[in-house]
Structure 1
Amino acid sequence: MSLHQQQLATALDALDRAFASEEPFPVTGCTYCYADQDLADLSGPLDLITDDLLSAVAAEVPSHWDDFPRLYRRLAPRIIRSAVTGRLHVDENLIASRLVAAEWTTWDAPLAGALHEVWAAWWRATLDSRPGPVSVRETLSLITVATGALRPWLDIWTDTRTETADAQLADFIDDVLVEYEITELHMGFYDEYDASAELLSWLLTEMRDRADDARLDEPYLLEHHLVSGSPGPGVDATRKIGEG
């Protein structure tokens, strides 16, 4: 296990400890989609909730629950651990959108802080492993939408000058250049975050010498960069997210 993978394991264990104070409560919600036994299981010990039920709740729309923020907060450690390790089988973009709906950044400081540590450790571990359990694009999308900022994660990638990080970069570029998707690239299940300008500017300036892909020199992309190449939302205010 590499150093960054060890740091991720440590962050996930710290997440469990931080959320240990979230006690069970009577969960109520849509009885058309969830049986009484499902609601009873969700109201009981966290470790007895089945993986299938956890996945269903992780993806479910907030309106299905009478107290969605509290339920998602209580399940967060298991949801995040399963997502990070690629065992949740739920669209990563959807998890980010649900966390935003649960207003995770407003949770008590120890809880939100533990999640911040996981985002940073997960991102570094992703850049350090190829292939990983979750693709670099899906990881970047989840943490960007969850934190509301892309630039801090790009800064970490810029500073990570390793063969693995560059190999991940090549895979990422090959993905987002299909049919010039990067010119209209949104992150999040509901396309909450417009990442086009930030990503294209980053690739064509800071990372061009590390990106061995002639398609980045296409006139169409260069022109698009000149026309729309401006920083996206949250660049300055949240630049330090993920550092540490």
Structure 2
Amino acid sequence: MVEGLYEVFGRVPRPGRVEGCSHCVAPDEDRVLLGRPVRELEPEVLARYAAKALSTWGGVAEFRYFLPRLLECAAADAFVYPDPPVVFGKLAKAGWTEWDAEERGAIEVFLSEWWDRTLERFPSRPAVGTVLCSLGCTGIGVGSFLERWERLASDEAIRHLHEFVLHEVGWGPQPRLVDAYWGRDGREVVGWLTGGRAVAAVEAAFAREDREYVLRLLDEVHTTLDR
């Protein structure tokens, strides 16, 4: 999944230094980042930079150099901190949609494959809601990912929807997503859940299913969405 990123961004020159805010980053703190190949950086070594990149430590050039390993670790939920949406949100901050076509393509493939692999495994780490939120934080929108999810093409996709609807949505008078990192894409997801598309997807899956445990999951999702 990540090989395309390493191939394309492996051409980015290794920075001589990664300068940071003198109040936030020690003068020699970048040495541990530059002391070995980027692919070999352990998550605990990279985590502090992942949290501070593009704000108080380094610029876009350095971020591009570390990007494959940053996304690889964040997608695996390998950082204790920062959370995946924080790391993926730095793509938007770096203006990645204005980079050259090959670089954009490598990132798009990575994001797409990450989503597909998430839907294929249950449980997943990160959870499906965190993955979807992270994708939204990149700035590309979540519409195409929701379209793929609503096919409910596997037991795992159904179980993800069950988990998400029952545990990651606050069902008050105005439904909201509980993950604090959601921005404007959160409204699109809520609209997808409450506007009929998700209900229709659940009903279509129910109609073609005959296994009792899957029917039970679908029924619980439908009951929650149709309240």
When normalised by structure 2's length, the TM-score is 0.79
1:100 deviates by 1.1
Q: How does 1:15-54 map to 2 (within 5 A)?
A: 15-25=5-15, 26-44=17-35, 45-47=37-39, 49-54=41-46
Tell whether the 8 Å contact from 2:176 to 2:190 is kept in structure 1 after alignment. no
1:186 deviates by 8.1
> Residue 209 of structure 2 aligns with which residue?
none
> Structure 1: where are the runs of 5+ without partners?
1-10, 219-244
Letter aligned with residue 183 of structure 2: E
Letter aligned with residue 15 of structure 1: L
Change (3 A) 1:57 1:105: same
> Structure 2: where are the runs of 5+ without partners?
206-217
Q: Distance in 1 between matches of 2:42 and 2:185?
A: 35
When normalised by structure 1's length, the TM-score is 0.74
> Residue 118 of structure 2 aligns with which residue?
126
> Residue 226 of structure 2 aligns with which residue?
217
> Residue 109 of structure 1 aligns with which residue?
101
Change (3 A) 1:50 1:161: closer
Q: How many percent of aligned residue pairs carry the same amino acid? A: 22
1:215 deviates by 2.6
> Residue 164 of structure 1 aligns with which residue?
156
1:150-181 CA-to-partner distances (Å, cap 9, x unmatched) read 21110011224211100110001012333439
Q: Distance in 1 between matches of 2:138 and 2:46?
A: 19
1:80 deviates by 0.8
Count of residues in Structure 1 that have an aligned counterpart in Structure 2: 206
> Residue 174 of structure 1 aligns with which residue?
166
Tell whether the 8 Å contact from 1:186 to 1:195 is kept in structure 2 after alignment. no
1:50 deviates by 4.3
> Residue 143 of structure 2 aligns with which residue?
151
Tell whether the 8 Å contact from 1:93 to 1:187 is kept in structure 2 after alignment. no
Letter aligned with residue 41 of structure 1: V
Q: Distance in 2 between matches of 1:53 and 1:31?
A: 19
1:109-153 CA-to-partner distances (Å, cap 9, x unmatched) read 222211100111010110000111210000000112214312111
> Which structure exhibits the higher relative contact order, with contacts defined as CA atoms closer than 8 Å and separated by 6 or more residues?
1
